[in-house]
Amino acid sequence: MRRVVGLAVRVAPVALALGLVTAAPVVAQDAPTPTGAPPAQPGPADATSVPASTIPEGCTAGLPVALRFVGTAESGNDAGVVRFAVTEVRDGSVQGTEVDIDYSANDDRRFIQDGDSYLVAAAVDPESSRLISKVRAPREELAVCSPFDPVYTRHVDGSPIDTSLLAGMHGKWGDVAMSFLIPTAAVFAVLLGLVILKRTLVFTGRGVGWGWRRARDRRTAKQSHPASRRPPAGGPPPANRTQTRTETPAAR
């Protein structure tokens, strides 16, 4: 009897502990989705956890702006690089007062006029490590992609630069006119010189021919009238060949 009581005393705490464990709440788990069933839609919290991209489809993300400044175009070269004198730095930093911007990738150098001021947003080219910018949208990009690319050169007030067909001729019409007028004037001068030379040769030839014919006529005239020649000095005077008319006295 004592053994039964002792065994009951030992088993009672174990039974009590097992009862507490079985009484604890069970955490429910999501049941697996049956095969072929549509996936569960995320709730409102999941929909706002990842913001949607603002770049339209078909557009590529532009390079980040490394430098934004206001500067005056001083000079450029045939390679498409323009040197600016920096007057105001808005983003980034510049070592010194001048900076070179490469426009060769889009061939926009001709739209930058020396002496004019611009608002330049430039990025670092990953290949050449140069500061690059552009005036026009790249040909391979869609028109809707331009507002999502910050790397552009504008006027100081932010307005776009004119890139029409004749925009690159601004300030160069005088050179174009001279390039046509100088060759035309040279050709005209050559033709005028040839005409003057021809007239001179013709008049000179006529004068020489007239003088030669006159001299020939004089020689011919002298040969046909030998009496007109003067006698040599100290010689007898030429005989007077003048015939006098003698008349026979009439018979009476």
Residue 102 has pLDDT above 80, yes or no: yes
Q: How confident is the model at residue 46 (pLDDT cuts 50, 70, 90)?
A: very low
Residue 168: the pLDDT is: 57
Across the range 27-40, mean pLDDT stands at 46
What's at 155, amino acid-wise?
H
Q: What angle (nearest 5°) sits at the alpha carbon of residue 62, between those of residues 112 and 88?
A: 45
Residue 71: the pLDDT is: 96
Across the range 74-82, mean pLDDT stands at 88
Across the range 27-51, mean pLDDT stands at 43
Secondary structure tally for the chain: helices H, strands E: 3, 6
Q: What is the pLDDT of residues 169-197, one digit of tens each?
A: 655 667 777 777 888 888 989 999 999 99
% residues pLDDT > 70 (the chain): 64
Pick 45 or 198 by higher pLDDT: 198
With residue 153 as reference, give the H or E element that holds it. Answer: strand 153-155
Residue 78 phi, psi dihedral angles, 5° rounding: -70, -15
**Mean of the per-residue pLDDT values for the chain?**
75
Q: How confident is the model at residue 244 (pLDDT cuts 50, 70, 90)?
A: low
CATH T-level assignment (fold) for domain 67-165? OB fold (Dihydrolipoamide Acetyltransferase, E2P) (2.40.50)
Q: What is the pLDDT of residues 120-168, one digit of tens each?
A: 999 999 999 999 999 998 888 887 888 888 999 999 999 999 887 665 5
153 pairs with which residues across the strands? 120
Q: How confident is the model at residue 203 (pLDDT cuts 50, 70, 90)?
A: confident
Q: How confident is the model at residue 234 (pLDDT cuts 50, 70, 90)?
A: low
Residue 227 has pLDDT above 60, yes or no: no
Q: How confident is the model at residue 247 (pLDDT cuts 50, 70, 90)?
A: low
Residue 172: the pLDDT is: 63
Residue 17: the pLDDT is: 53
Residue 19 has pLDDT above 50, yes or no: yes
Is residue 123 within 8 Å of residue 106, measured between CB atoms? no
Which two three-digit tokens encode residue 218?
């004089």
What's at 122, amino acid-wise?
A
